[in-house]
Amino acid sequence: MRSNSISSVTSATSATSASQSSEDNMQIFVKDLSGNTIPLSVPSSTSIATLRNLLALRTNLPTSDMRLVFAGKHLSTPSSTLADNNIPRDSTLHLALPVRGSKKPTCDYKKDAKCNAQVQRIVGECGFCGGKFCSKHRLLESHQCPNLEDCKKESHERNADKLNSERTVTIKGI
């Protein structure tokens, strides 16, 4: 595991840092999701993109997934600098990752108007038409399944087979 020692950005800002004094460097802290604090010593003219690249090297996360937050504000413009975002010395930035898969599936019923109710888990999927339906439209008759007649025939045959298999046969002559 890497140590949390203070790192400085030299390669990305070598042209600008040569003309600036070391007093322009400031220390900031980046807190990740696991609660670890990463101290960084960077110039105030460091861009958000450079800071993301530096953090990508330290955390092994892709830069496209990183979101930096300071004082409740997302630092989304990659070309802006720390000074542009009014980030002072010894401040803490928070590293956030985007939320994936947060959209819940909605009902497929479209008779009169689209039903936006949430799909029922397990019982909300129709095995005959493949649609996903809410508790109001999950029954075949409710969502007017195009395969309703096939469903009725299959259900009737399944019940007839079950009744025939459970039929008791009496032996005559005993």
Annotation: CATH topology of 7-96: Ubiquitin-like (UB roll) (3.10.20)
Confidence check: pLDDT of 23 > 70: no
- 52-77 mean pLDDT: 84
Tell me the pLDDT tens digit for each residue of 71-103. 888 887 888 888 888 888 888 988 887 766 656
Domain boundaries of the chain, sorted by first residue: 7-96, 103-165
Residue 174 pLDDT > 80, yes or no? no
* DSSP states along 76-143: --TT-BTTTTT--TT-EEEEE----S-PPPB----SSS---PBPPTTTTB-TTT--B--TTT-STTTT
Least Cα distance to 135 among 97, 109, 96, 157 occurs for 109
pLDDT at 2 over 70: no
Q: Which CATH number fits domain 103-165: 2.60.40, 1.10.10, 4.10.860, 4.10.1110?
A: 4.10.1110
pLDDT of residue 13: 42
